[in-house]
């Protein structure tokens, strides 16, 4: 295991926001129920606004199920939304309603987003997206992720202060070339 490096490269299988040509790729391993990921969510949004087409964001699931009992199904519901073409909408909804992630709420969010909520519920019940979530989780473990959120910038683990928005934006701007 190479500490500090992203061992599974970004691919078309990932959930990506931003252009492939971006000079900065920010990979976040996160947990929808993690309060620190909830704190990071608006910071990541600010980074996306500040850097525009210079950044692409990749989100990978890393549910810490021992601490967060709803994290696994929340991640699976995001994957179910992805299967219906609305991953990022569900991603945002889950972070914006982080305090209510039980299965009934997940179904309600799916319906509010215009998804086939019955299909999302069925996919949660049958574990249709468990393997995808586990794959993300295992890729994080191989990359040395042991908590959330964990960020990688252009394949290198970022161990700086992500909670300081201005500092994080400055680091990313510098990497982006100004």
User: Domain ranges in the chain?
Assistant: 15-176
Q: What is the pTM (predicted TM-score) of this model?
A: 0.96
Q: What is the mean pLDDT of the chain?
A: 96
pLDDT at 1: 34
- Taking a C-beta distance cutoff of 8 angstroms, is the pair 18, 51 a contact? no
- Taking a C-beta distance cutoff of 8 angstroms, is the pair 82, 133 a contact? no
| Among 86, 85, 61, CA closest to 73 | 61
Q: What are the Cα distances from residue 59, in Å, to 56, 112, 175, 177? A: 10, 22, 20, 23
pLDDT exceeds 60 at position 81: yes
pLDDT at 43: 97
Q: What is the pLDDT of residues 125-138, one digit of tens each?
A: 999 999 999 999 99
Q: What is the pLDDT of residues 100-120, one digit of tens each?
A: 999 999 999 999 999 999 999
Tokens of 12: 């078309």
Strand ranges for the chain from DSSP E: 15-17, 24-30, 55-61, 150-153, 156-158
| Among 2, 50, 61, 62, CA closest to 22 | 50
CATH superfamily of 15-176: Glutaredoxin (3.40.30.10)
């Amino acid at each position: 295991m190479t500490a500090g490096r992203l061992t599974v490269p970004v691919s078309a299988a990932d959930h990506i926001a931003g252009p492939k040509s971006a000079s900065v790729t920010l990979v976040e391993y996160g947990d929808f129920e993690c309060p620190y990921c909830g704190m990071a969510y608006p910071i990541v949004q600010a980074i996306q606004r500040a850097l525009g087409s210079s950044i692409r964001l990749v989100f990978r699931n890393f549910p810490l199920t021992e601490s967060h009992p709803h994290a696994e199904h929340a991640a699976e519901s995001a994957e179910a939304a992805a299967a219906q073409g609305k991953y990022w909408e569900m991603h945002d909804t889950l972070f914006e309603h982080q305090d209510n992630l039980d299965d009934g709420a997940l179904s309600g969010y799916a319906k509010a987003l215009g998804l086939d909520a019955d299909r999302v519920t069925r996919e949660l019940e049958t574990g249709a997206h468990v393997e995808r979530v586990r794959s993300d989780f295992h890729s994080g473990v191989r990359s040395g992720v042991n908590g959330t959120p964990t960020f990688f910038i252009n394949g290198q683990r970022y161990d700086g202060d992500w909670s300081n928005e201005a500092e994080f934006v400055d680091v990313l701007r510098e990497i982006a070339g100004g």
